[in-house]
């Protein structure tokens, strides 16, 4: 229960306060009853809706289309926990399983071209409900930022015949100074020239373009890695607001040799200001070697 | 003087607390003495410095270069005013004259390829000093966001043989529903599909690619327009934090038929969250027709 007896629509017993669930992992109870460990529900105030046609049209020189898509919330635990890093490894694993299931289901709708998974933690990171939850938005277009990344990766591949993220992973492991931790399946590191202080990326060591194609052993390891990474960040930065986003290939595409899914974590420590909005460049006072060292050396004992 | 007797490095008498001035408009006194109406000083904590070589080099697959450039602050008035809209029209005109002078001077350094003018107002918009000031950053590269805009404008021009901003201006004046105000020289409007609630653009009606080439009569009118626009925003949104950015063509280029300078004003009312960082798309709950109507109808008594 939230402190001070405040109402939480995501706590057990309040299932009727969200739209009916799309998916749940349960130990008992039927749909929209208590007894769940994780619930996926449509956002009550969705950015996009599944119903209707795209109805693409011009308006003079502008273009418009309807907001066809899906906006779902993954309620990560029945406990009123505020911090994803406080979840058990199994709870975190279930988040990724739920996301994977939802992506595999949503991609059957061929209108939906890209699916974004992300989390907003804390008010400064855009979260309005404190009970820990992640989000999924399925879009009828490839978003600008994703298209830029895909184009950049494809140009690199055409030039080198190698995946740029595989090359980055190799170089970061060799250099070592920006590495936070490594496992058999993942590398966690502060990227070269990061936009933000303590920006951290989690990248699978084996090449896969689509998050939803990840194998069970890799998902299990991801849960361990994500939990340790978040706990280190919470320790070093004293529970900062943050966003994480899964970068994954467009869902209607087959496996891509030039793209490599990964997670980007951004603690929200600095303000984005006029220079950043005007330039698309970011002023970051913290070198990645320094943030990686802090995170690497943070004991969780 | 600031409230509560706090120290302000931008108030008269504290000239020695900033690096020596580069430019000042004065009624009395010598350099770095009191008697000024506006001062331009280097940022004490600059993002870039004029000294040194670019020294472009690779670091494995990454690229690096030195931060050669300039970072200057325009202290807009000797009074400890916090709000740009509270300045007189003449003070605002002087800001634009000072920016223009600095741009014409800095572009003589051929290493500097782009100059950004912007203002951060309020802590949520990234401002750390409350005494009203604008900023200028000169860069040795064309920033990502600027290059995207230039490329988009060039592609449109190649297709249509018309400037896209001239076309937007014409369509907005015809449609009317997104217009905030118009003068002989400027159109102020809420752009179609704005990223942010109450995002507002100020665009000169005559085609010029470079802000620094603007004529005296146009600069004078801009001061009037900018002041009214800010006062309307302060009234409707109750003194919000905001950023404005001048979008202007790269300084080493000659006049461009496909690019058109303008100012973008973003009140900081919503948080940028995981969806926005992951997609480059923005969820905006406020239709531009609605924000334009509020601003258009706001009387200034």
Homologous superfamily, domain B145-238+255-268+286-297: HIT-like (3.30.428.10)
The answer to whether the Cβ–Cβ distance between A273 and B124 falls below 8 Å is: no
The predicted complex's ipTM stands at 0.93
Nearest to B271 among A60, A64, A125 (CB): A125
Pick from A140, A164, A273 the residue to mutate for testing the B interface (most B CBs within 10 Å).
A273
Q: Which residues of chain B fall short of a pLDDT of 50? A: none
SS3 of residue B149 by DSSP? helix
The answer to whether the Cβ–Cβ distance between B60 and A175 falls below 8 Å is: yes
- A9: tokens are 């629509």
Pick from A84, A279, A284, A288 the residue to mutate for testing the B interface (most B CBs within 10 Å).
A279
Tell me what pLDDT residue A63 has.
95
- Write phi, then psi, for B114 (nearest 5 degrees): -145, 145
Query: What is the spatial distance between Cα B88 and Cα B111, in angstroms, rounded to a whole number?
Result: 36
What angle (nearest 5°) sits at the alpha carbon of residue A75, between those of residues A71 and A78? 160
CB-CB neighbors (< 8 A) of A61 in chain B: 164, 167-168, 171
Q: In this structure, are residues A241 and A247 in contact, taking their beta carbons and an 8 Å threshold?
A: no
Tell me what pLDDT residue B6 has.
87
The answer to whether the Cβ–Cβ distance between A59 and B247 falls below 8 Å is: no
Nearest to B278 among A123, A145, A278 (CB): A145
CB-CB neighbors (< 8 A) of A116 in chain B: 274-275, 278-279
Tell me what pLDDT residue A3 has.
76
CB-CB neighbors (< 8 A) of B64 in chain A: 193
Q: What's CA A215's distance to the chain center, in Å?
A: 18
The average confidence (pLDDT) of chain A is: 96
DSSP character at residue B228: H
CB-defined contacts A:B, below 8 A? 141
**How many other CB atoms are found less than 10 A from the CB of residue A94?**
20
Domain with CATH 3.30.428.10 in chain A: 3-139, 144-297
CB-CB neighbors (< 8 A) of B275 in chain A: 47, 116, 118, 135, 137
| Closest listed residue to residue B168, CA positions, set B185, B148, B188 | B188
Query: What is the spatial distance between Cα A246 and Cα B44, in angstroms, rounded to a whole number?
Result: 38
Tell me what pLDDT residue B249 has.
98
> Which residue of the set A114, A133, A210, A260 is catalytic?
A133
Query: What is the spatial distance between Cα B102 and Cα B116, in angstroms, rounded to a whole number?
Result: 11
Tell me what pLDDT residue A153 has.
98
The answer to whether the Cβ–Cβ distance between B60 and A171 falls below 8 Å is: yes
Nearest to B273 among A125, A247, A279 (CB): A125
Mean pLDDT to the nearest integer, A260-278: 95
Tell me what pLDDT residue B2 has.
79
Q: How far apart are the first and last CA of chain B?
A: 27
Instruction: Examine the pLDDT at A2 and tell me if it is beyond 90.
Output: no
A262 is catalytic: no
Nearest to B271 among A124, A143, A144 (CB): A124
Q: Where are the alpha helices (DSSP H) in B59-197?
A: 89-106, 144-160, 164-175
The answer to whether the Cβ–Cβ distance between B61 and A148 falls below 8 Å is: no
Minimum Cα–Cα distance from A114: chain B residue: B279
What are the tens digits of pLDDT across the range A84-131? Answer: 999 999 999 999 999 999 999 999 999 999 999 999 999 999 998 999
Tell me what pLDDT residue A47 has.
86
Query: What is the spatial distance between Cα A236 and Cα B102, in angstroms, rounded to a whole number?
Result: 42
The structural architecture, per CATH, of the domain A144-297 is 2-Layer Sandwich (3.30)
Determine whether B45 is exposed, middle or buried from the number of CB atoms within 10 Å of its CB (0-12, 13-18, 19+). exposed
- A213: tokens are 């194609």
| Closest listed residue to residue A122, CA positions, set B76, B271, B171, B52 | B271
What are the tens digits of pLDDT across the range A151-187? Answer: 999 999 999 999 999 999 999 999 999 999 999 999 9
Homologous superfamily, domain A3-139: HIT-like (3.30.428.10)
């Amino acid at each position: 229960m939230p402190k001070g007896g405040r109402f939480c629509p995501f706590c057990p017993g309040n299932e009727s306060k969200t739209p009916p669930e799309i998916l749940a992992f349960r130990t008992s109870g039927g749909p929209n009853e208590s007894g769940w460990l994780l619930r996926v529900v449509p956002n009550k105030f969705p950015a996009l809706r599944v119903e209707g046609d795209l109805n693409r049209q011009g308006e003079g020189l502008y273009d418009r289309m309807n907001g066809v898509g899906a906006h779902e919330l993954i309620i990560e635990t029945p406990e009123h926990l505020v911090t994803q890093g406080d979840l058990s490894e199994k709870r975190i694993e279930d988040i990724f399983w739920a996301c994977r299931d939802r992506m595999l289901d949503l991609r059957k709708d061929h209108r939906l071209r890209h699916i974004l998974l992300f989390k907003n933690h804390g008010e400064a990171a855009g979260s309005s409900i404190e009970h820990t939850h992640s989000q999924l938005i399925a879009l009828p277009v490839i978003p600008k930022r994703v298209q830029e990344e895909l184009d950049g990766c494809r140009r690199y591949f055409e030039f080198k015949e190698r995946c740029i993220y595989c090359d980055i992973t190799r170089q970061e492991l060799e250099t070592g100074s920006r590495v936070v931790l490594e496992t058999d399946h993942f590398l966690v590191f502060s990227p070269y020239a990061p936009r933000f202080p303590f920006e951290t990326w989690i990248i699978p060591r084996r090449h896969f373009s689509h998050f939803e194609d990840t194998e069970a052993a890799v998902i299990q390891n991801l849960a361990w890695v994500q939990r340790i990474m978040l706990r280190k960040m919470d320790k070093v930065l004293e529970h900062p607001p943050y966003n994480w986003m899964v970068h994954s290939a467009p869902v209607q595409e087959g496996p891509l040799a030039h793209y490599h899914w990964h997670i980007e974590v951004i603690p929200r420590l600095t303000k984005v200001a006029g220079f950043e909005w005007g330039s698309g460049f970011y002023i970051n006072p913290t070198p990645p070697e320094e943030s990686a060292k802090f995170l690497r050396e943070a004991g969780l004992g």
